[in-house]
Amino acid sequence: MSKKTVFLDAPNVGNLEKRYLAMAVDSGFVSTFGPFVQKFEETFARYIGVTKAVSTQSGTEALHVALHELGIGEGDEVIVPALTFVATANPIVYVKAAPVFVDVDKDSWNIDPREIERHITRRTKAVVPVHFYGNPCDMDRIMGIARKHGLAVIEDATESLGAFYNKKHTGTIGDLGCFSFNGNKVITTGGGGMVVGTDPKRLEHIKFLVNQGRDETRGYYHPEIGFNYRMTNLEAALGLAQLKRLNEFLNKKQVFNALYREELSGVRDIRFQKEYRGARGSWWFTCVVFERPVDLPTLQKVLLGKGVPTRRVFTPITEFPPYKKFKKSDLAHSYDLYERGLCLPSSTLNSEQDVRTTAREIKRFLKRGL
């Protein structure tokens, strides 16, 4: 008998999504023009409580156009956490600015506000906090530092759709917020991303930029250099259907996170991400850190042999050749979390039993290793 499949981060796509995609195909609007794009943007903006949202082809593009819109460019420095996916840093280089890598807090795994303030220079123009794995950053402290030093804040909320900080959605607290709808995110459009904010003029200009900087009132006239970053009607149709199921997905993520904590609560060598006061994570991924030495590659191999896939916590960006030349602080926590952290199956395709089985297999492995 074959093993039951447990999913790491696979998307949850069903009949509703098929129906919406069929509607988009039947309409004839399958490219970057069509009614689903506007509807998706409006519905998304209403859900997170902002005046306007602009869709893009990816979360990376959302970050890129946000930096561009805020005038970040050559000679500027942007402070980012070292422990994040490389897509947080790449757009900073696209605009010819320099990322400055700082350490994360050992408990929340998010960018440490003390490290932000410690690395501000006369060239610092922005901070990009990342709500790591769906756990909100300490935005009160970050915004206080930004206001004190006149810095822009672009929230990398690509992993945190549905998370809150002091009753505000992540992505809505800084100057601009960016989301991703890649296939493994909380909801998916296949690829795709979104930029949000509270300044409608700024968002209107971003909408103009992602459409090749085209002034549609004058036909094919382009007064600025723009980007071909538009979401397609097909992608937006998928996204709109996924939005209708978002609460279902978020509820499952919360339940899975609670179950992992319950099942592994008696293991003193395991700890989870901690939330700040006033924060409520969306738990895109539930991850653990092992407090004593554990052979993670062997653990992963054993779990995979039982049909349970896992993945390591992101490698600090400073390990990658293109980024070794940029400024960085002492990154002890970032490297420690990478060396000892493991991401557990978190797809909403899984059942509660899949989560309990995963946790029990981890405990069995640790017990054998004693």
d(CA 368, CA 126): 48
101 forms bridges with which residues in the sheet?
80, 328
Residues found in the chain: 370
Residue 369 sits at the vertex; the CA angle it makes with 366 and 370, to the nearest 5 degrees, is 95
Instruction: Write down the catalytic residue from 52, 125, 185, 253.
Output: 185
Q: Is there a contact between 338 and 83 (Cβ–Cβ < 8 Å)?
A: yes
Taking the chain, what is the end-to-end CA distance rounded to the nearest angstrom? 31
Amino acid occupying residue 39: K
> How distant is the alpha carbon of residue 324 from its chain centre?
23
3 catalytic residue (yes or no): no
d(CA 24, CA 236): 9
> How distant is the alpha carbon of residue 158 from its chain centre?
2
Cβ neighbours of 269 (radius 10 Å): 16
Catalytic site positions? 185
